[in-house]
């Protein structure tokens, strides 16, 4: 019996961590959809769910170049989910990447960053020969 699985990897194509994640998914033989923040924007309707799953603090990449280039007032204004959401939509490059949305067997999961151990857990029991 085959389990229906839908995986969407959100990010920016030239991001090294996103490239690494795309390579990992391909190596596992997992089909996924890639959503390019630069071309397709940040899906505002999904941000509340992502924030509920992982926390707005985790989505905001405070170590990245884009964050460091923001002026102090803009950085200081990010204090809650609403202000974080506004910044993430205005500055997609400040989102910690990749964001992976994984739907399988009626369950929805969200991860942020390169976390192959988490993705393996979502795959379920080890597949023969895998």
Q: Using CA atoms, how far apart are residues 32 and 6, in angstroms rounded to an integer?
A: 7
Overall residue count recorded for the chain in this entry = 130
Active site residue 15: yes
Give the active site residue among 15, 42, 94, 110.
15
Is 52 buried (19+), middle (13-18) or exposed (0-12) by CB count in 10 A? exposed
Write out the catalytic residue numbers. 15
């Amino acid at each position: 019996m085959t389990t229906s699985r839908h995986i969407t990897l959100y990010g920016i194509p030239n991001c090294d961590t996103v490239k690494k994640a795309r390579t990992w998914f391909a190596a596992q033989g997992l089909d996924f959809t890639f959503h390019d923040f630069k071309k397709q924007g940040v899906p505002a309707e999904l941000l509340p769910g992502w924030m509920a799953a992982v926390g707005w603090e985790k989505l905001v990449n405070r170590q990245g170049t884009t964050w460091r280039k923001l002026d102090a007032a803009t950085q200081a204004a990010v204090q809650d989910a609403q202000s974080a959401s506004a910044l993430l939509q205005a500055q997609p490059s400040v989102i910690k990447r990749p964001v992976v949305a994984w739907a399988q067997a009626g369950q929805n999961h969200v991860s942020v960053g390169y976390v192959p151990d988490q993705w393996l857990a979502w795959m379920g029991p080890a597949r023969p020969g895998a």
